[in-house]
Amino acid sequence: MLNQQIGNPVDRQGTHLPNVGRIIQCTRRNHLIELKRLINELEWSNQHILTLAGSRRRSNSLQKQGPLGVQQDLQTQNSSHLNQQALTSNTDMSKNWKAADIPSLAGKRILITGANSGIGYHAALKLTRKGAHVMLACRDRKRGEAALALLNADSPSAHTELVILDLASLASIRSFADQELAKHRPIHILINNAGVMTPPKRLETADGFELQFGTNVLGHFALTALLMPALELATQAAADLADRPRVVTIASIAHKKGRLDFDDLQSIKRYSPWKAYQQSKLGDLMFAFELDRRLRAANSRVMSIAAHPGVARTNLFQAANYSSFEKAARDVMGHAIGIFLNTDAEGALPTLYAATASSAEDGGYYGPQGFQEMRGESVGPAKIAPQALDTAASAHLWQVCEDLTNTKLM
């Protein structure tokens, strides 16, 4: 095993942590090439992570416990790490807005896609604690039920429900939307959070779209379009700015290197895991901005806001069919991310801000303000790549999304 081959350094809590540099020195040549490619694709290096070590240690020096997800006993980590992490996620995270500033959400119905783990789960946890009725939209029933059980254990009086929704299937999206609209109840906040990240081989959705573009962009476009009547219904009871319904779309700093290839949006001619992911995240951000423009033009009171988590350790980092070596290498990087950058609980803060803060603006894009926008110590306006502001390309993308999903939005 990888940890048996390498003498691992020990962190301040006595936990053995693999070191990327030593792995490179000790692996066979073919593994070295694979790991080097992985690090290059991730677009940050071991040196960047080590640069953050000093400031991260200082910011945590007053805490008695080390980074959650690292120091916990392995026998309890799988069942309880989500809630334990969230309980302390506000500690020294933000000198300004923090999750404790979320107002009462009693009576509000919130739908979160991909809510069974990671950022989606932690957003659900905080919103549930504030009294919201949270719908966990999950593809896998078993994982969704496990997340629901954790939420209810944390807050026995929580108003939560599990809904089965596969964003890689337009039939699943339409079926869920039909059931939801039949209830004639408002949706106050829609959080388009679920995503697919860098599967090594090109995969397709049930409808034949490239999996990342089909799920991250087309799936959320169709869901938002079909649920817009429920969002508009929520405007009727919106007394002030803070009560206006919101569509929150989760983008990524990866959008900065993204390019929309309208001649090959489905990556049929050539597939690159990271280029396809970057394109999908650029598409998400452009969708959020274009939705805002169209909502304003229609004098709608629904808000469209985007957010990104920085770099957070979520299951997106491991949720693909990688080789055993690459899975081990990604786990190494995941540990480093959780220690020096963001846990998934911390990564949820920009999402919570976009979804609930009264200071969040129409068409805003928010993220962490720390090192290269990767850390979540405070939340503020995020940097936007020029291509995300191309209104002509955004309008074209919108039309493509309508055509491919056979849905009309605004």
The C-alpha atoms of residue 255 and residue 285 are separated, in whole angstroms, by 8
With residues binned 3-state (H G I as helix, E B as strand, rest as coil), the percentages for the chain, rounded to 5, are: 50, 10, 40
Q: Which of 390, 97, 74 is nearest to 258 (CA)?
A: 390
- Report the length, in residues, of the chain: 410
Strands 342-343 and 312-313: parallel
Q: Which of 60, 83, 47, 51 is nearest to 12 (CA)?
A: 60
Catalytic residue (one of 277, 353, 365, 366) = 277
Helix (H) or strand (E) holding 95: none
Is residue 128 within 8 A of residue 134, CB to CB? The reply is: yes
Question: Each residue of 36-46: pLDDT tens digit?
Answer: 455 454 444 33
pLDDT at residue 345, as a whole number: 83
The C-alpha atoms of residue 56 and residue 58 are separated, in whole angstroms, by 5
Q: How far apart are the first and last CA of the chain?
A: 54
* Buried/exposed code over 21-51 (b: 16+ C-beta within 10 A; e: otherwise): eebeeebeeebeebbeebeeebebebebbee
pLDDT at residue 315, as a whole number: 56
329 pLDDT above the threshold of 70: no
Which range has the worst mean pLDDT, 34-43, 248-257, 385-394? 34-43
pLDDT at residue 122, as a whole number: 96
Q: Is 353 noted as a catalytic residue in this protein?
A: no
The C-alpha atoms of residue 243 and residue 237 are separated, in whole angstroms, by 8
Question: Each residue of 91-122: pLDDT tens digit?
Answer: 333 458 999 999 999 999 999 999 999 999 99
Q: How many CA atoms lie within 13 A of 372 on its CB side?
A: 13
Is residue 280 within 8 A of residue 259, CB to CB? The reply is: no
Which range has the worst mean pLDDT, 177-181, 224-228, 344-348? 344-348
User: What value does the mean pLDDT take over residues 326-354?
Assistant: 67
- DSSP letter for 360, please: -
Is residue 244 within 8 A of residue 224, CB to CB? The reply is: no
The C-alpha atoms of residue 108 and residue 68 are separated, in whole angstroms, by 31
How far, in whole angstroms, is CA 217 from its chain's centroid? 13
Place of tokens 């990240």: 197
User: What value does the mean pLDDT take over residues 358-362?
Assistant: 95
Kindly list the structural domains of the chain, giving each domain's residue range(s) and its CATH number in brackets, ordered by start. Answer: 95-405 (3.40.50.720)
Which pLDDT band holds residue 401 (cuts at 50, 70, 90)? very high
- 159: which strand partners? 133
Q: Is the pTM of this model over 0.85?
A: no
Q: Which of 110, 97, 108 is nearest to 360 (CA)?
A: 97
- 119 or 6, which is more confident: 119
pLDDT at residue 328, as a whole number: 55
Tokens of 61: 């020096």
Which pLDDT band holds residue 342 (cuts at 50, 70, 90)? low
Which pLDDT band holds residue 15 (cuts at 50, 70, 90)? very low
